[in-house]
């Protein structure tokens, strides 16, 4: 084998490099997606929590029926 690589070995090394770049790119895109999804879930949870609190406050402020709400 000497100091120079043959054409086939060079092509394989380039393909390996391309695969590594593709894998790294995919990992970064997956991280970005997970961060966006996490923020969306947190925002949805806060929104649901706030809606629940508003409904509870509305119920608490209603006048009670004389028969205890039955």
What is the per-residue pLDDT across 20-66, written as a single tens digit (0 to 9) for each? 999 999 999 999 999 999 999 888 888 888 888 888 888 888 777 66
Largest Cα separation within the chain, whole Å, is: 99
Predicted structure pTM score: 0.54
Q: What pLDDT is stored for residue 70 in this prediction?
A: 52
Domain regions of the chain by residue span: 31-60
Both tokens of residue 24?
């790294």
């Amino acid at each position: 084998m000497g100091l120079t690589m043959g054409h086939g070995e060079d092509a394989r090394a380039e393909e390996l490099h391309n695969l590594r770049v593709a894998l790294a790119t995919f990992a970064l895109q997956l991280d970005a997606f997970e961060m966006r999804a996490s923020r969306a879930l947190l925002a949805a949870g806060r929104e649901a929590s706030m809606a629940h609190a508003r409904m509870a406050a509305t119920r608490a402020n209603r006048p009670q029926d004389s028969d205890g709400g039955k």
